[in-house]
């Protein structure tokens, strides 16, 4: 089993950041911005397209990944300011997908197919809140597509693979960062063309992972102790194009990208059964890929995946949630 580790102070820093500012001046006093503007890359022939979002433990700073170039944007939930935090091509990253933070504010970035792309190297990166590179890691499988990331109760990050029914585990143990295949559900989860495993969260009882399979519209439960995998009973709810998952208490929000629907389910404690609560249409002119909670609102990433050549405005959109 291959483990590839890079701990880098030398690669840590410091490329000057390009700052784009969207002030909240037009908002009422103390009101939070309804949208957050991202700068994008005017020189990219595809325009700029986005996918993942992470929010730091204080719910003040958010991070957005750009699939076209691998830039990581950073924003302020309160003021609306955003900037390019990690530049295009940095650390061998030419594309980026899922992104999340842990309790210490460290940022985990999944590279999708990065290691198989021209000019790309490595599959996942860990950065300190300062931007310092802590690790650049390689998956131990062929043709990986590292999609989304969630931090488990053990402090490790768990990462889905859209090309195979595999979940990886990333942790710093005995002074070294490692990534390895944690669970392989081949034989249990049938895969097909398109994106398979994607969104991932921890169950309400903190004993399992809940994982979306977008191309089949199914949810799967991975037991954190035994690694047993079972399908979650959703009562026949339509979850086609399930992408990002957000858990708030027992409410599971499923961002269904090209379906342009936000589906809300109620999960039981174990994450083994889900009941449909509501389906809410999202903006017909946007394809939201995923979201994170910050200060009582969902921050949804407008991916621009529906545009052959993406055009601004590039935005994260806030939506208040209830219950």
| Strand residues in 16-102 grouped as ranges (E) | 19-20, 35-38, 50-55, 61-66, 72-76, 82-86, 99-101
What percentage of the chain exceeds 70 in pLDDT?
Answer: 90
The total of structural domains in the chain comes to 1
Residue 2 in domain: no
Rounded-to-integer distance, Cα 6 and Cα 152, Å = 22
Residue 13 in domain: no
pLDDT for 24 beyond 80: no
Residue 12 in domain: no
56: tokens are 């730091």
pLDDT digits (tens, 9 = 90+) for 178-208: 999 999 999 999 998 989 999 999 999 999 9
What is residue 200's predicted lDDT score, i.e. its pLDDT?
98
pLDDT for 14 beyond 90: no
pLDDT for 15 beyond 50: no
293 vs 113, 245, 317, 318, 321, CA distance in Å? 26, 11, 12, 9, 9
pLDDT digits (tens, 9 = 90+) for 142-180: 999 999 999 999 999 999 999 999 999 999 999 999 999
219 vs 112, 212, 269, 271, 303, CA distance in Å? 20, 5, 15, 10, 23
In this prediction, residue 244 has a pLDDT band, given cuts at 50, 70 and 90, of very high
pLDDT digits (tens, 9 = 90+) for 28-84: 456 999 999 999 887 788 899 999 999 999 999 999 999 999 999 999 999 999 999
Rounded-to-integer distance, Cα 244 and Cα 261, Å = 12
In this prediction, residue 13 has a pLDDT band, given cuts at 50, 70 and 90, of very low
What is residue 323's predicted lDDT score, i.e. its pLDDT?
60
pLDDT digits (tens, 9 = 90+) for 250-299: 999 999 999 999 999 999 999 999 999 999 999 999 999 999 999 999 99
pLDDT for 139 beyond 70: yes
Rounded-to-integer distance, Cα 186 and Cα 298, Å = 33
Put simply, whether the predicted model's pTM sits higher than 0.85 gets the answer yes
Residue 48 sits in which domain range? 19-320
Residue 285 in domain: yes
In this prediction, residue 25 has a pLDDT band, given cuts at 50, 70 and 90, of very low
Residue 100 in domain: yes
What is residue 23's predicted lDDT score, i.e. its pLDDT?
37
pLDDT for 117 beyond 90: yes
Q: CATH number of the domain at 86, please.
A: 2.120.10.30
Averaged over 112-136, what is the pLDDT? 97
Closest listed residue to residue 141, CA positions, set 117, 115, 121, 120: 115
Rounded-to-integer distance, Cα 20 and Cα 17, Å = 10
In this prediction, residue 11 has a pLDDT band, given cuts at 50, 70 and 90, of very low
Residue 6 in domain: no
What is residue 44's predicted lDDT score, i.e. its pLDDT?
83
In this prediction, residue 248 has a pLDDT band, given cuts at 50, 70 and 90, of very high
Rounded-to-integer distance, Cα 297 and Cα 320, Å = 4
Residue 10 in domain: no
pLDDT digits (tens, 9 = 90+) for 297-320: 999 999 999 999 999 999 999 999
What percentage of the chain exceeds 90 in pLDDT?
Answer: 86
Is residue 125 classed exposed, middle or buried when 0-12, 13-18 and 19+ CB atoms within 10 A define those classes? Answer: buried
Residue 14 in domain: no
Average model confidence (pLDDT) across the chain: 91
pLDDT for 2 beyond 60: no
């Amino acid at each position: 089993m291959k483990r590839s580790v890079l701990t880098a102070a030398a690669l840590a820093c410091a490329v000057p950041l390009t700052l784009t500012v969207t002030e909240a001046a037009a908002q009422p006093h103390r009101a939070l911005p309804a949208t957050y503007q991202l700068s994008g890359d005017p020189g990219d022939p595809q325009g700029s397209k986005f996918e993942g979002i992470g929010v730091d433990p204080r719910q003040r700073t958010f991070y957005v990944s750009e699939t076209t170039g691998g830039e990581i944007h950073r924003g302020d939930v309160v003021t609306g300011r955003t900037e390019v935090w990690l530049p295009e091509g940095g650390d061998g990253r030419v594309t980026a997908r899922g992104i999340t933070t842990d309790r210490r504010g460290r940022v985990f970035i999944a590279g999708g197919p990065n290691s198989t792309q021209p000019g790309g190297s490595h599959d996942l990166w860990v950065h300190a809140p300062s931007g310092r590179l802590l690790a650049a890691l390689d998956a131990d499988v062929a043709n990986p597509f590292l999609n989304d990331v969630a931090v488990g109760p053990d402090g490790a990050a768990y990462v889905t693979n859209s090309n195979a029914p595999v979940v990886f585990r990333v942790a710093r143990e005995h002074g070294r960062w490692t990534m390895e295949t944690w669970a392989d559900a081949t034989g249990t989860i049938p895969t097909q063309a398109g994106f398979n495993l994607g969104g991932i969260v921890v169950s309400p009882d903190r004993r399992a992972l809940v994982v979306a399979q977008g191309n089949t519209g199914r949810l799967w439960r991975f037991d954190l102790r035994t690694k047993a995998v079972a399908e979650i009973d959703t009562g026949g709810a339509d979850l086609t194009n399930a992408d990002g998952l957000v858990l708030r208490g027992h409410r599971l929000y499923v961002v269904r990208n090209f379906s342009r629907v936000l589906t809300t389910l109620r999960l039981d404690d174990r994450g083994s059964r889900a009941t449909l609560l509501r389906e809410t249409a999202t903006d017909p002119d946007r394809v939201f890929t995923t979201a994170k909670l910050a200060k009582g609102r969902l921050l949804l990433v407008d991916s621009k995946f529906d545009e052959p050549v993406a055009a601004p405005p590039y935005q994260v959109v806030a939506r208040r949630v209830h219950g």
